[in-house]
């Protein structure tokens, strides 16, 4: 992932140093697991740990140099580690293991740590959305369907629904973490032909992973589920950002992104305050979805293993993790700082719609007064069209229609905004069930 969209705390998990350090941790734990089995002398395992090399830039370069000979990264890594440990103890490094035992177990351990970062950021976003929902639950704004005026809603209702959806994403991340928190050290084709299952148990326990039956590789539906959770986060964020972009349009002016001192909205037009972050988030959501597609392609491998998934995962897993964290962090800031314009929203709701947002209330009042639904619908539809085309208040058109037999009190009730929104707190009541 390019640095622009790569939070440091995530990219560090997938750096070469971190990757080799996790491989080394698996190797040393496996050697100590063999001690418990009784096949490796305890003093030899102790020497392996004591003489284990520091995984720094020099170590990474040494592995790269050796790989230019072996054309195999794990073999090169093992050669460098064994050389650092020295003989005869170094021979116990990678004893009974195949490359995937190390790579897949280390990758799953890394993904659990990545998921932990995502879960924290997801929780923070839910909290931010919940706070704005409670703050704005009574502030009215036009609800729209098909991009057109529908009925009144509130800003708080929007934030509450976003919070509920973001919390479902959080739950998906938790589930995906559990799915990838597995390890395997069962050798070639996964049958434990040359390794004792107790070694696998030892390593997985130390890493906080659950041993899982596998072929030579851990099944890739687990990794695809992780990518699905990331893509789902992106879809939710895109949903939020799209609504912000719409509300920020000049014609609506109901919300705008925070605009800091010194910021420029356009290089040419000084008046502009473009929703650039929301647009960026919508674009990045597309990238996340493409990573999911690649992850699903990795599920079907030949027989007990091939490495067609390996090159894909070196790109999509680190990038998806970094991008998801970036988007979560940016969306939290956007939601906390989103500027709301309630006066403009109220004007759009009332004058802007000529009061047409109350058409259903009028329809139901006429039905309650004895008209058939179809007859009432035709009256309201006709008057609504006249109101819009003539630019007249809907209430005025109704007052002048002899077929509208409603009393002033009944029409007042139909046009009562507080009546329309009397149950809106059900949105925020639902937030009480979310994790704190």
What are the residue numbers of the active site?
Answer: 146, 266
3-state helix, strand, coil in the chain (%, to 5): 65, 5, 30
Tally the C-alpha atoms within 13 A of residue 253's C-alpha that lie toward its C-beta: 9
Cα angle for residues 235, 238, 239 (degrees, 5° grid): 90
Is 374 in contact with 382 (CB distance < 8 Å)? no
Q: What are phi and psi of 140, to 5 degrees?
A: -75, 150
Is 303 in contact with 213 (CB distance < 8 Å)? no
Beta-carbon count within 10 A of 157 CB: 23
Is 126 in contact with 395 (CB distance < 8 Å)? no
The encoded tokens of residue 343 equal 């006066």
Taken in order 208, 212, 218, 219, is the CA torsion positive or negative?
negative
Alpha helices in 254-372 (DSSP H): 276-297, 308-337, 342-349, 359-368
Is 118 in contact with 30 (CB distance < 8 Å)? no
Q: Is 192 left (phi over 0), alpha (psi -120 to 50) or beta?
A: left
Tally of residues, the chain: 436
Q: What are phi and psi of 424, to 5 degrees?
A: -65, -20
């Amino acid at each position: 992932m390019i640095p622009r969209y790569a939070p440091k705390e995530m990219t560090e998990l997938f750096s070469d140093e971190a990757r080799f350090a996790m491989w080394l941790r698996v190797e040393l734990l496996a050697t100590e697991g063999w001690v418990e089995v009784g096949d490796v002398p305890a003093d030899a395992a102790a020497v392996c740990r004591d003489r284990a090399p520091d995984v720094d830039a020099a170590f990474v370069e040494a592995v790269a140099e050796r790989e230019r000979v072996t054309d195999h990264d794990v073999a090169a890594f093992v050669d460098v580690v064994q050389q650092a440990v020295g003989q005869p103890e170094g021979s116990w490094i990678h004893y009974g293991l195949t490359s995937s035992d190390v790579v897949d177990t280390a990758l799953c351990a890394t993904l659990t740590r990545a998921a932990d970062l995502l879960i924290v950021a997801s929780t923070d976003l839910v909290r931010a959305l919940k706070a704005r929902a409670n703050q704005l639950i009574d502030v009215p704004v036009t609800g729209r369907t098909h991009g057109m005026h529908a009925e009144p809603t509130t800003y708080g209702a929007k934030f509450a629904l976003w919070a509920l959806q973001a919390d479902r994403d959080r739950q998906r991340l938790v589930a995906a973490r559990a799915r990838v928190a597995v390890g395997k050290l069962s050798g070639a084709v996964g049958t434990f032909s040359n390794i004792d299952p107790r070694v696998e148990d030892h390593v997985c326990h130390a890493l906080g992973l659950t041993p899982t039956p596998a072929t030579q590789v851990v099944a890739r539906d687990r990794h695809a589920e992780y990518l699905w959770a990331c893509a789902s986060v992106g879809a939710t964020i895109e949903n939020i950002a799209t609504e912000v972009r719409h509300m920020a349009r000049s014609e609506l002016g109901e919300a705008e992104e925070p605009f800091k001192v010194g910021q420029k909205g356009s290089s040419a037009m000084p008046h502009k305050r473009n929703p650039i972050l929301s647009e960026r988030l919508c674009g990045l959501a597309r990238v996340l979805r493409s990573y999911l597609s690649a992850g699903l392609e990795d599920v079907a491998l030949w027989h007990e293993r091939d490495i067609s998934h390996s090159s894909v995962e070196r790109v999509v897993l680190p990038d998806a993790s970094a991008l998801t964290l970036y988007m979560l962090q940016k969306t939290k800031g956007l939601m906390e700082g989103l500027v709301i314009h309630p006066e403009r929203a109220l004007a759009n709701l009332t004058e802007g719609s000529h009061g047409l947002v109350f058409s259903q209330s009028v329809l139901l009042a006429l039905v309650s007064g004895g008209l058939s639904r179809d007859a009432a619908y035709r009256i309201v539809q006709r008057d609504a069209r006249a109101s819009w085309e003539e630019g007249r208040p809907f209430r005025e058109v109704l007052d002048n229609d002899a077929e509208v037999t409603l009393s002033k009190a009944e029409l007042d009730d139909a046009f009562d905004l507080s009546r329309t929104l009397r149950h809106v707190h059900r949105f925020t009541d639902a937030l009480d069930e979310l994790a704190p």
